Structure 1
Amino acid sequence: MIDTTRLEPNETPVMLVTGSAKRIGAAIIEAAHTRGYRVIIHCHHSKIKAQMLAAKLNDVRPNTAAVIMADLAIINDSDLLNQFVQDVVSTFGQLDVLVHNASRFYPTPIGTIDSAQWDELLLTNAKAPLFLSQALLPYLKQQQGCIISLLDIHAQNKPFNSYTVYNMAKAAHQMLVQSLALEVAPDIRVNGVAPGVNILPDADSDQAIDLDHQQRIVASIPIQRVGTPEDIAEAVLFLAKASYITGEIINVDGGRRLTLAGGTR
């Protein structure tokens, strides 16, 4: 446990990554920590993985990684949201980079869509990024910091078939990036990273992809391989330091957007 009573703002930047106990979020956390950041690992259900990641990083540099657990639905309760903000800021005394990574992803074929799916997909992919950004803006402004959002190449006029609600939510998130980049400049920069196929669903998940399908996906990517979480992390860390870039979306997709028809991943 980090002793927050002894921590004061300093020159070592602090990055918060939502949904960062595993997969792409964890890769961003590890890349940032390697470059000297202090990191805040946010999780909802993956407490053990988050704590293991923090312990690993703190073994390398003591008191440089912390875990905050929260359901992003806290944005619907002003008291809970305020408490979350205070927990974030008190952890290391400042916040320099906010990375919106947490996301829900699943198909919503027309004719089967219900309000619960709408609420969940819009919450994680659009509403939470907006309200978390708004709540943390004063602290990011104090540090002349930045916001980086994980988007999707399917949000850019190439919708993923049968994922209508997800596509809509990610498109809204992309517009949030561009809108905020105008509104909060010059104090805070806001950018996005749009993955293509940078990580496959877990083999035991309801989104698992069989080997034949995986091979078809690879064949459709000009670079001829599935990307890695580390590819995304490198783009995020670049944007965190790119002081003259705001309102931009970097595609990290191996060129897949050039051949994408919208039907498969």
Structure 2
Amino acid sequence: MNQAPHTMPSASHHSPVMLVTGSAKRIGAAIVRAAHHKGYRVIIHCHHSEQQAKELATELNHIRANSAAVVVADLTIVNDSAALHVFVKDIIETFGQLDVLVHNASRFYPSPLGNIDHAQWDELFLTNAKAPLFLSQALSPYLKKQRGCIISLLDIHAHDRPFSHYTVYNMAKAAHRMMVQSLALEMAPDIRVNGVAPGVNVLPDSASDQAIDDKQQKSIIDAIPLQRVGRPDEIAHSVLYLVQAKYITGEIITVDGGRSLTLAGGHIS
């Protein structure tokens, strides 16, 4: 039986707070759910997926009142210092603090040579490199106050094994990987910075322009030593491990079922 609102357990004002960008669904939502299960108050950031974000917050607030909130923003706010200031103010005013920042928001699509344009460059670098850096910088005073941490969602193709036809994405994720290592040095000892590099952990939505057919799916699974696609909750588990690993910084955990061992770069499948 559902509890009445007035009998719901309420989130403690002492509970740590986690912000996850792009967390209305898929891997981001899995991270939010896992953190909430561990007692975190969570801030669900979204841009276009506001309805899913609100549904997720309602679900979590039903479990524990006043424990989840939604912040809607286009990450182009990082190009406008005034807009970024308002975003940071909104984040901190939500629960009064910030302990963990998870960079999950990302755009992913091909940019074959001969058709690369400035719009692709701007969008892919914005979500996969520029926004993570400027958000980290803007939120660092609050993370420092809590001796908190930053976790970045990267990609096994961001280091030495690029996707063919995804040059701009590869470059942007490689930049993000270097950001993790650079900020780990600059922010120590007050803020730890680490990353998680998924392999094939979520297949593209069947209705998206990146959808893959059954034959492609089988080809992908056959190339993974553990012979299955990973699950979003397995990424979330690694994120929460790094949050709790107080003597780890500048590290990137690969979560790919062994795919990196058999991958020499090339096509997405």
What are the within-5 Å matches in structure 2 for residues 247-258 of structure 1?
A: 247-258=250-261
In structure 2, C-alpha distance between the alignment counterparts of 1:246 and 1:10, rounded to whole Å:
27
Q: Which residue of 2 aligns with 1:88?
A: 91
Q: Which residue of 1 aligns with 2:244?
A: 241
Q: Which residue of 1 aligns with 2:268?
A: 264
SS in 1 for 2:194: strand
Shift of 1:22: 0.3
Let me know the Cα RMSD of the aligned residues: 1.1
Shift of 1:156: 1.0
- After superposition, what is the alpha-carbon deviation per residue over 1:150-204, rounded to whole angstroms, capped at 9, x for unaligned? 0000001100110000000000000000000001100000000000000000000
Amino acid paired to 2:53: A
Structure 1: gaps spanning 5 or more residues: 1-8
In structure 2, C-alpha distance between the alignment counterparts of 1:109 and 1:261, rounded to whole Å:
19
1:221 aligns with 2:210: no
Amino acid paired to 1:244: Y
1:42 aligns with 2:45: yes
Q: Which residue of 1 aligns with 2:69?
A: 66
Q: Which residue of 2 aligns with 1:3?
A: none
In structure 2, C-alpha distance between the alignment counterparts of 1:11 and 1:257, rounded to whole Å:
40
Q: Which residue of 1 aligns with 2:3?
A: none
SS in 1 for 2:70: strand
Q: Which residue of 2 aligns with 1:121?
A: 124
State the aligned residue count: 258
SS in 2 for 1:251: strand
In structure 2, C-alpha distance between the alignment counterparts of 1:17 and 1:229, rounded to whole Å:
14
Equivalent residue in structure 1 for 2:175, among 163, 172, 176: 172
Shift of 1:93: 0.3
SS in 2 for 1:32: helix
Q: Which residue of 1 aligns with 2:202?
A: 199
Structure 2: gaps spanning 5 or more residues: 1-11
In structure 2, C-alpha distance between the alignment counterparts of 1:30 and 1:12, rounded to whole Å:
15
- After superposition, what is the alpha-carbon deviation per residue over 1:218-250, rounded to whole angstroms, capped at 9, x for unaligned? 000000000011110000000011100000000
Instruction: Provide the TM-score with structure 2 as the length reference.
Output: 0.95
In structure 2, C-alpha distance between the alignment counterparts of 1:121 and 1:206, rounded to whole Å:
16
Amino acid paired to 1:66: A
Q: Which residue of 2 aligns with 1:16?
A: 19
Q: Which residue of 2 aligns with 1:6?
A: none
Q: Percent of aligned positions with the same letter in both sequences?
A: 72
Amino acid paired to 2:125: L
In structure 1, C-alpha distance between the alignment counterparts of 2:199 and 2:75, rounded to whole Å:
24
Runs of 4+ in structure 1 deviating by more than 4 angstroms, as ranges, are none
What are the within-5 Å matches in structure 2 for residues 95-174 of structure 1?
A: 95-174=98-177
- After superposition, what is the alpha-carbon deviation per residue over 1:24-45, rounded to whole angstroms, capped at 9, x for unaligned? 0000000000000000000000
In structure 2, C-alpha distance between the alignment counterparts of 1:184 and 1:239, rounded to whole Å:
16
